[in-house]
Structure 1
Amino acid sequence: MSKQLGSCVPGYKPAMTGPLYANQDKLPKLPVPSLEATLPKYLKSIEPLLTPTEYENTVKSADEFSNSAIGKLLQDRLLARAQDPTKTSWLIDWWNDLAYLGYRDPVVPFVSYFYAHKNDKRHKTGVKKGAAIVSSALQFWKQVTDGTLPPEMARTTPLDSSSYQYMFNSCRIPHPGSDHPVQYNPETNKKITVARNGIFYILDICPNGIELSVPEIETQLEKIIQDADGRIAPRIGIFTGDYRDTWAKNREMLISSGPNNKKLLAEIESSIFLLCLDSTSPVTQNDHNHGCWHGDGFNRFFDKPCEFIVFENGKSGFLGEHSMMDGTPTCRLNEFVVSQTLSKTFDKDFGNMDQLRTDLPSPLPLLFETDVHVLKSLKKAHKTFDYEIARQHLYSTTFHGFGKQIISKHYGFSPDAFAQMIIQHAYYKLHGRCVPTYEPAQTRKFLSGRTEACRVLSTESLEFVKTMENPYASDEEKINALKLATKAHSKYSAEAAEGLGVDRHLLGLRLSLKPDEELPALFKDPVFSLSSTWKISTSNISSKYFLSWGWSEVVGDGYGIAYSVVDDNLSFNVTCARDNTIGLDSEKLCQCLNDSATDLRELLAKTALPSKPKL
């Protein structure tokens, strides 16, 4: 460890060369939609939320804004920002700060997301599975750092690769008001951080210039477990699960409490990724989910973009810090890792015992110096973490009645739109109403693109759920309502992916307003904030390599619903706050999701569609 100290100098910027970044110069910039395109779309999206009188009032305020001098001025300012040659995107700086780096609540449970990996029948202990994951993830790391990883494509359209630079050897650093990301040189930081019992170890992956083999990694992990299980030391990882401004303050206090503490933090921050060797053995899917999502709070460093979690019984998962990177790149990373570790030839390809060196130095723990103030703050951070996690209610379910194959190939519906209508119907079943619902649409076909909001709730989706719950509606009426609702959803999703949604444009217009200028009536209208208060926040990552995935609700009286539509089943992971006052319940909603899927299965099974609707 000593030779690594001092090598982790921040401020590194990767060259971003090679095939991974070959298309960057060809990508178009994120467009600025016209007011004439956005405002009618906005009005249509809010209609299900309003009475006729309320809707007419909003129509008037939208017309006034469209024809006003300030409306045209804000649009011109936004267009000028989009044309600024120094900016890769008119949105990216605003979005990264407002949505992520400036967010002050704890990143876990409120922002970071987890994947629960498919079970591995061959690597049934933590060290064996951990060694397999480390070896596989390092193969991916090499391809990212040298740029040889092929760029992602949406069919024939290349996607932005800029977020890959923050995947490895990077960290989010807390700072009062707004955090910032820091990158480190991978050539001088060929190491990973391993956490066990809340104690962090630096594992040199290339001792004496020779990369560790899988058996050598396993041996090193066994040494770490043996040392950590008999050691008492300050467990500073819990600090990273606190409110961001509190963590920023505590980080400075921790640094000042010992002369080596800043270097020790930099060891973690500059490492390639984190491997968390947990001492628990989850059996149920809910326990597996909770372990991947947050664990005990100590055996994590939540500011790292990539944390692989391995349990004593060989189950595994991943936790992603969200600020500089959305889920698609880390999904790709995890699919690569799990597909490798599940491969029948993995042991043959990576498990050569002849590569086992017996003279490898034992990884040394990062032992932080503390004082009474740090210890007191650690105790308080632990209390805060336990309180926030205890408030979370998580439940997951899998519906085996059908999957993508039947939804798409047999009935011709968009699997994503179909699943979204199940969510709308389930919420209506449980709560008797529909609410603003968010689904991210990927905008990575544009330079520095991240996401646009797809507004799921529509007049068509509301009519669909009401028709489904109407005992006098015919099967033909229900099928027609489903067709119209899925078609409307697919249309909005496609437009959002082209950068032509509502929410980012309206955000840009509002942020273009100067401090001394009066807020237009359109933005004062209560429905403006209501329509983007996501009482249901959803996202779809459909992978055969994951058993589950998820994150928390985004508002206190809402649900977070992560879902997957694979060939033969649909799975949903639902979260909400336990202390909500309006009767939200993740387990009950999961039952309603199953009930809705069953209703649709029975409806479609007895209804002969004349042709595939191709929605």
Structure 2
Amino acid sequence: MAEAHQAVAFQFTVTPDGIDLQLCHEALRQIYLSGLHSWKKRFIRFKNGVMTGVYPGSPAGFMVVVVSYMSYNKYKQLDPSLGLIAKLGQHIPISRYMSTDSQRIVGGVLVGTGLWVTIIMIMRNVLKSLLSWHGWMHARHGSVSWSTRLWMVMKVFSGRKPMLYSFQNSLPRLPVPSVKDTCRRYLESVRALMDDEQYERMKGLTKDFEKNLGPKLQWYLKLKSWWASNYVSDWWEEYIYLRGRGPIMVNSNYYAMDFLYVFPTSIQAARAGNAIHAIMLYRRKLDRAQIKPASFPALLSVPLCSAQWERMFNTTRIPGLETDILQHMNESKHIAVFHKGRFFKVWMFYDGRLLLPREIEQQMERILADKSEPLPGEENLAALTAGDRTPWARARETYFSRGKNKQSLDAIEKAAFFVTLDDTEQRFEPDNPVKSLDSYAKSLLHGKCYDRWFDKSFNLIVFKNGTMGLNAEHSWADAPIIGHLWEHVLSMDPVKLGYTEDGHCCGEPHPNLPGPQRLQWDIPAECQDTIQSSLTLARTLADDVDCHIFPFDDFGKGLIKKCRTSPDAFIQIALQLAHYRDKGKFCLTYEASMTRLFREGRTETVRSCTMETCAFVRSMIRDETVREERLKLLKMAAEKHQNMYRLAMTGQGIDRHLFCLYVVSKYLGEDSPFLKEVLSEPWRLSTSQTPLQQVELFDLVRHPEYVSSGGGFGPVADDGYGVSYIIVGENLINFHISSKHSSPETDSHRFGANIKQAMLDILDLFQLEKKAM
């Protein structure tokens, strides 16, 4: 095989005349190009580190400050340093290489450097203070107050052409709310869910905590907030994600879908070629920090934290007996590919350059044409990543720590990302929309339980008919980060990269490209038993998931804005109405909000089931309530929701604070009935909006179909619902609903019908048709 020849750099034989050395010039050439590529990346990283480290200053600014300072000193014959240059010069020895004039120049450069660093620190601290002010959030939508206009002076201090990580040192730290405020808002959030007796009991527990144990725990948390970059994120990653011992498939990993109505090509290898090439181009931009920093909102461009981008590629979750770890490689030049029970290693570079789409398609064609059978235990191997974590950790240590098994596992875990060439067909079918979308979602969420490597940062899944999607591991980052990558891929695939008339990638195959490397395994029978146990558990979990995806196209954010209501608040209130009709009761509701306005921020919870929302829902249930009263209650509920969202985004949420207080209590060995009860409350309705972040990449006016249909996740509670939604353009909202078949209380399709009806009923309150007449 071609790759076998490329693997040998040189050969030698011993003859009577001495050693006969035969060098393979092509192999040495590839080694040279590979080394050159690595050194280029190191230089780029070093340069980017310097640029980011001095931001909002720049090396050019250094030259301007130093030259201006020296010129002023020379031509004005004045010393603005008040003698500091002369004092520095005295400590620089005079020699034949260093004259008195040279002393003055060196001293002037040192003083100019100090001045430049001082200017940078002043600009950075002013910018940090400006970014700590969030008064702009309270302005009415579409208007800019005078205080906000004055605040926008921050653009003067934010530098020019920022790179991805430029703002990291200027972002403020996440503030720690007071125990009193958190306790007050907690009681307010559960009032609608408790009767008077339950509420009085919880009120007593809360007051006792606020007075006694709370201040002690708060002191430790304050100390951590002064010392650490973020007082929440490291504990959140460790205790919520990495210490979980149950399966991450369904319970943690989430998925992202392809276009809904657009099918660029039906050739599986070609779709994989364009998608993989687009992903690798994104990785190159990420390595060079050339991705534009995310910001919010569009009008003000307030920078968001970019820390989560660091582990997007070359990252794997490694199982442990008690806790997992995230293994991140600085560089990886290959991907791992799975097809029909076999694993392959595919190099992404040749001749010192990234493979072109047609060349990647060529590699995928070779894998698809490979008729070899899986080795014993190989086909279901990835089921270990779908089952419980502890058996996987034991199996990894026992059977994959040496020999060919270790080499093959390293090839997967150290890959840039994982690719599955799925042998099933998934697609939105207009004649059978419900069943086709439900099947598509379940395939992305869990597949066959052995054809996804759930530990990788993300899996690219390309189906037999050319449809594709992602499955992402959750601990390293939140959904908007992987969504940013996915938007880049979808915007490049059919338009910028394109396909030939017969559906292949543009370009020509490479005549000398070495083929993929088949990974080798030696899996003993005992390990195969562990694999089978994990697969059985994973299949039970997967079969229990009830997925329902439906495009809501009766109206979108265009009409909602005419109601002068926040689209997110409108949808969240509709979900509450739908849930009450579905179950006949309210429940604790989780809506994810980001805290990336702060350094290393991740998420906070918006408790969407408020007293105001419940009052509105009850008014919709009672037939005697007049429309004007319902509209008044709706407005109050929407305003309350928006205010809670603002509090969550600005570090004034309650759930991350309570979580960290609970962690501190465990470290101190203190038992808190209040915290124990709060942290054990189930989220029976878990919701999240998938934001469309890079609107400029898509022409949603002329081509609204050229955008992702969003993604979803599994149910959080055994008797609850998981709901994800994406607002696409002005006239479409896609809903992704999940629950469990085993629960008699839930039915994803029934809940979907209730959501649709709730959306229509709320819109009817505004009587937009009559206003248009």
User: Could you tell me the TM-score, scaled by structure 1's length?
Assistant: 0.91
Distance in 2, Cα, partners of 1:529 & 1:121: 45
Amino acid at match of 1:152: A
Q: Determine the structure 2 residue equivalent to 1:613.
A: none
Q: Is the contact between residue 436 and residue 534 of structure 1 (CA under 8 Å) also seen in structure 2?
A: yes
Q: Decide whether aligned partners of structure 1 residues 97 and 4 sit closer, same or farther in structure 2, where only a CA change above 3 A counts.
A: farther
* Alpha-carbon contact 1:561-1:572 (below 8 Å) kept: yes
For 2:648, the equivalent position in structure 1 comes to: 496
Q: After TM superposition, list the pairs within 5 Å mapping 1:60-75 onto structure 2.
A: 60-68=204-212, 70-75=213-218
Deviation at 1:44, TM superposition (A): 0.6
Show CA shifts across 1:25-83 (max 9, x none).
11111110012321211111010011123323333332333233x32221111111111
With 564-573 and 506-515 compared, the bigger mean Cα shift is at 506-515
C-alpha deviation, 1:607, in angstroms: 8.1
Alignment match, 2:413 = 269
Conserved in 2, the CA contact under 8 Å of 1:440 and 1:538?
A: yes
Instruction: Report whether the alignment pairs 1:148 with 2:290.
Output: yes
Hey, what does 2:184 align to over in structure 1?
A: 40
Match of 1:536 among 685, 688, 694: 685
Deviations 1:291-320 (A, max 9, x none): 211111222111111211111111111111
Return the alpha-carbon distance in structure 1 between the equivalents of residues 7 and 764 of structure 2: 62
Residue 200 (structure 2) pairs with residue 56 (structure 1): yes
Distance (Å, rounded) in 1 between the aligned partners of 2:168 and 2:691? 26
In 2 relative to 1, CA 351–577 (structure 1 residues): closer, same or farther, beyond 3 Å?
Answer: closer
CA contact 1:198–1:300 (8 Å) conserved in 2: no
SS at match of 2:518: coil
Equivalent residues of 2:179, 2:218 under 8 A apart: yes
* Structure 1 residues 325-362: Cα deviation after superposition (integer angstroms, max 9, x where no partner): 001110000000011113166348x95525x3211111
CA distance in 1, matches of 2:341, 2:350: 25
Larger radius of gyration: 2
- Residues 125 and 311 in structure 1, CA contact (< 8 A), matched pair in contact too: no
* Contact 2:587–2:684 (CA under 8 A) maintained in structure 1: yes
Rounded to whole Å, the distance in 2 between the matches of 1:162 and 1:548 is 23
Are 1:381 and 2:534 matched, yes or no? yes
* Cα distance, 1:4–1:161 mapped onto 2, change above 3 Å: farther
Distance 1:340 1:66, change over 3 A: same
SS of residue matched to 1:604: coil
| 1:456 corresponds to which of 602, 608, 611 | 608
* Distance across 1 between alignment mates of 2:333 and 2:750: 47
| Offset, 1:489 | 0.9
Distance 1:232 1:513 in 2: 50
1:4–1:48 distance in 2 versus 1, CA, 3 Å = farther
Aligned-partner Cα distance in 1 for 2:447–2:654: 37
Once residues 52 and 382 of structure 1 are traced to their aligned partners in structure 2, the CA distance between those partners, rounded to angstroms, is 47
Q: Give the conservation status (yes or no) of the 8 Å contact 2:719–2:743.
A: yes
Say yes or no: does 1:240 pair with 2:382.
no
The runs of 5 or more residues in structure 1 that have no matched partner are: 611-615
Which residue of structure 2 aligns with residue 310 of structure 1?
462
**Cα distance in structure 1, aligned partners of 2:615 and 2:304:** 36
Aligned match of 1:254? 399
Q: For 1:549, which of 707, 711, 735 is the aligned residue? A: 711
CA shift in 2, pair 1:138/1:517, >3 Å: closer
Q: Distance in 2 between matches of 1:249 and 1:489?
A: 46
Which residue is equivalent to 1:220? 363
Conservation of the 8 A alpha-carbon contact between 2:263 and 2:467: no
In the alignment, is the contact (CA less than 8 A) between 2:245 and 2:390 conserved in 1? yes
C-alpha distance in structure 2 between counterparts of 1:517 and 1:271, whole Å: 41
* Equivalent in 307, 310, 314 of residue 165 of structure 1: 310
Provide Cα deviations, 1:202-252, integer angstroms capped at 9, x if missing partner: 11111232321111111110001111x442221211111111111111212
Q: How does 1:20-31 map to 2 (within 5 A)?
A: 20-31=164-175
The count of residues paired between Structure 1 and Structure 2 equals 590
Q: How does 1:421-432 map to 2 (within 5 A)?
A: 421-432=573-584
1:569-598, Cα deviation, whole Å (9 max, x unpaired): 2221111111124x2111111111111112
Question: Partner of 2:486 in structure 1?
Answer: 334
Partner in structure 1 of residue 31 of structure 2 = none
Is it true that 1:438 corresponds to 2:617 in the alignment?
no
Aligned counterpart for 2:248 among listed residues 95, 107, 110: 107
What corresponds to 2:66 in structure 1?
Answer: none
How far apart are the structure 2 equivalents of 1:42 and 1:213? 54
1:76 aligned onto 2:228: no
Change (3 A) 1:94 1:576: same
The Cα of 1:428 is off from its aligned counterpart by: 0.5
CA offsets, 1:247-286, max 9 Å, x none? 1112123315x61211211111111111211011124111
Determine if contact 2:690/2:710 at 8 Å carries over to the other structure: no
The one of 551, 564, 581 aligned to 2:726? 564
Q: Is the 8 A contact 2:560 2:566 kept in 1?
A: yes
1:603 aligns with 2:765: yes
Q: Give the corresponding residue for 1:202.
A: 345
* C-alpha contact (below 8 Å) 1:174/1:247 kept by paired residues: yes
* 1:517 to partner: Cα distance: 5.0
Distance 1:593 1:546 in 2: 21
Alpha-carbon distance in structure 1 between the residues aligned to 2:7 and 2:303: 38
1:411 aligned residue: 563
**Separation of aligned partners in 1, 2:593 and 2:424:** 36
- Residues 125 and 171 of structure 1, relative CA distance in 2, 3 Å threshold: same
Secondary structure of the structure 1 residue equivalent to 2:257: strand
- Name the residue aligned to 2:507: 353
SS of the residue 2:665 aligns to: coil
TM-score by length of 2: 0.73
Listed one character per residue, the Cα deviations across residues 119-176 of structure 1 (whole Å, up to 9, x for unaligned) are 5433222111111101111110101122221211113221111111110011110001
Q: How does 1:289-328 map to 2 (within 5 A)?
A: 289-328=441-480
Cα displacement string for residues 486-544 of structure 1 (whole angstroms, at most 9, x for unaligned residues): 111111011001111111111222222255654245335x4x246x4200111100446
User: Does residue 1:130 correspond to 2:272, yes or no?
Assistant: yes
Distance 1:586 1:4 in 2: 53
Question: Structure 2 vs 1, CA of residues 4 and 158 (structure 1 numbering), >3 Å: closer, same or farther?
Answer: farther
Q: Aligned match of 2:756 in 594, 598, 602?
A: 594
Match of 1:485 in 2: 637
- Correspondences of 1:273-292 after superposition (within 5 Å): 273-283=417-427, 284-292=436-444
| 2:71 corresponding residue in structure 1 | none
Answer yes or no: is the 8 Å Cα contact 1:197–1:298 preserved in 2.
no
Q: Given residue 417 of structure 2, which amino acid in structure 1 is its aligned partner?
A: F
Residue of structure 2 in register with 1:185 after alignment:
330
Whole-angstrom distance in 1 between the partners of 2:670 and 2:488: 51
* Cα distance per residue 1:407-427 (max 9 Å; x no partner): 12x111111111111111111
CA 1:375–1:64 in 2, change beyond 3 Å: closer, same or farther? closer
Deviation at 1:185, TM superposition (A): 2.5
Secondary structure of 1:452's match?
A: strand
Q: 1:30 is matched by which residue type in structure 2?
A: L
2:709·2:726 contact (CA, 8 Å) conserved in 1?
Answer: no
Change (3 A) 1:608 1:484: farther
Give the secondary structure class of the aligned counterpart of 2:250.
Answer: helix
Question: What's the counterpart of residue 671 of structure 2?
Answer: 519
Partner of 2:137: none
Q: Distance in 1 between matches of 2:618 and 2:569?
A: 17
Query: What's the secondary structure of 1:343's corresponding residue?
Result: helix
CA distance in structure 2 between the partners assigned to 1:396 and 1:299 by the alignment: 22
Q: CA deviation at 1:602?
A: 2.5
